[in-house]
Amino acid sequence: MKKSLTNLFADASERDKRSAGMIINAIENNNIDGFDYLEFKQSIEKLAEMGMDEATRYKSAFVTASTLGLTRDKLLKTASFYRGIVVKEKSKFEKAMQQRMTTGVKDLEGNVGKLEKAISDRKERIAKLQAEVEKYEAKLEQTKDEIENMSEKVAEAKAGFERAYEVILEQIDEDVSNIETYIS
């Protein structure tokens, strides 16, 4: 009967085959034995294929069904029964979706917490590394200043030595010249 029920509710199947299939399976699993709303609906669909107008389809299907013991009251009760099945399926679906949403959100919230912690840890490490970089940059500048100061001192010492060297050398050379000149 599944094909015929799928055909009976074709508009629903065209919109969402999976959802319609779940609802139709629930109806099939709870199908009442004998001629009831579902068989009546099948009769209406067959008469529609013959091109009958709606009122004639319903009247003709009911006349035929009444020969099989279907009453208006039974038809309405069984339609209400199947409607109840569909409503129960919606309730089950909503409950499943709520549970899925709750579980999914909790999982994602857990991931958000982990990601926030990872970001916080990384930012902390970056801050520590930035502080270390700043410390090394300060040390580098201090070292460069020391090099410059030392270079200046070395240059001053060299210049001073060169001046002293020249002066002393000149004096010695002058003394040697004087010795050679004045002392025989």
- The string of pLDDT tens digits covering residues 115-157 is 999 999 999 999 999 999 999 999 999 999 999 999 999 999 9
Q: Output the CA torsion 131→136→141→142 (10° steps).
A: 110
Per the structure block, which two tokens stand in for 41? 């609906």
Give the per-residue pLDDT at 56: 94
Angle between helices 72-182 and 17-29 (to 10 degrees): 140
Give the per-residue pLDDT at 1: 41
Residue 142 to residue 145: CA distance in whole angstroms = 5
Sign of torsion, CA 156 162 165 167?
negative
Q: Give the count of beta carbons closer than 10 Å to the beta carbon of residue 88.
A: 13
Contact 33, 81 (CB under 8 A): no
pLDDT digits (tens, 9 = 90+) for 55-114: 999 999 999 999 999 999 999 999 999 999 999 999 999 999 888 888 888 888 889 989
Give the per-residue pLDDT at 2: 42
Least trusted range by pLDDT, from 15-24, 25-34, 141-150, 166-175: 15-24
* Structural domain boundaries in the chain: 2-92
Residue 145 to residues 6, 141, 156, Cα–Cα distance (Å): 88, 6, 16
> Taking the model in full, what pTM does it have?
0.56
Residue among 31, 10, 34, 32 at smallest CA distance from 21: 10
Integer-rounded Cα Rg, in Å, for the chain is 51
Q: How many residues does the chain have?
A: 184
Residue 29 to residue 22: CA distance in whole angstroms = 11
Place of tokens 């029920």: 5
Per the structure block, which two tokens stand in for 179? 């010795």
